[in-house]
Amino acid sequence: MRTGLDAAIVAALAAALLQLSASPATAEKADKAKPTQLEANRMSADDARRISIFEGNVVLSKGTITVRAERIVVRIDADGFQHVSATGSPVRFRQKGDARRDAEGVWTEAEALRVEMDGRNDRIELFERARVMRDQDEVRGEYIFLDQRSEFFSVSTAKGASAASAEGRVRAVIQPKAPPAGGSAPSAASPGPAPAAPEAAKPPAR
């Protein structure tokens, strides 16, 4: 009698309990096609509801994505998309973004007490003591929303709360960036053209 998800999903999860993949993908778009692998101290599954629960030092990997938590619940919807709910003190998330032009992809690291990952819509929500770090920039708040398709994200003191009613503050640290290639910042040694000399004063008309 099966006690896990459908046969293909159970096979992937069972293999993951033994060993994580040693060759992750190198870009965010490639992550979507990679299998989800998990390690945990304990696992239980409800085949009828298509839910698996992993507890105790849980590690989830999917391409470049890594999630570390105390408890992860994986639900498969009717169309086969995965929905992941992770809790911990805190949950830690890491993923490498796509390379752009000649620049290598940037790593995004995040943490919160609860993380919800929506595989259907490629969205991530972080709840309570949330923090996201990317390319040395950092934002903090009680709720952070990440849309991986559009690379849009928003930060607030609580989900659905207005600035006037929520407690606490959103905080951000944005590091200075180097000027683009081919450009240069103004230099003290090259102050630019000198201002034009003023015209000589004309004698008053008689």
Is residue 112, in this structure, part of any structural domain at all?
Answer: yes
**Domains identified in the chain, total number:** 1
Determine the average pLDDT of the residues in 51-73. 96
In this predicted structure, what is the pLDDT of residue 48?
92
Residue 194: pLDDT over 80: no
Matching residue, tokens 């034009």: 196
In this predicted structure, what is the pLDDT of residue 88?
98
Q: How many helices (H) and strands (E) does the chain have?
A: 2, 10
Q: What mean pLDDT value characterizes the chain?
A: 75
By residue range, what is the domain housing residue 129? 7-173
Is residue 100, in this structure, part of any structural domain at all?
Answer: yes
In this predicted structure, what is the pLDDT of residue 21?
29
Is residue 169, in this structure, part of any structural domain at all?
Answer: yes
Q: 3-class DSSP state for residue 140?
A: strand
Determine the average pLDDT of the residues in 102-129. 90
CATH of the domain at 56: 2.60.450.10
Q: Are strands 123-134 and 171-173 parallel, antiparallel or unpaired?
A: unpaired
Is residue 31, in this structure, part of any structural domain at all?
Answer: yes
| Distance separating alpha carbons of residues 18 and 21, to the nearest angstrom | 10
Is residue 138, in this structure, part of any structural domain at all?
Answer: yes
| Distance separating alpha carbons of residues 143 and 154, to the nearest angstrom | 8
Determine the average pLDDT of the residues in 174-187. 63
Determine the average pLDDT of the residues in 97-109. 77
Is residue 180, in this structure, part of any structural domain at all?
Answer: no
Pair 54, 92: CB distance under 8 Å: no
More confident residue, 95 or 201: 95
pLDDT band at residue 40 under the 50/70/90 scheme: very high
Pair 141, 170: CB distance under 8 Å: yes
pLDDT band at residue 79 under the 50/70/90 scheme: very high
More confident residue, 163 or 103: 103
Percent of the chain with pLDDT over 90: 44
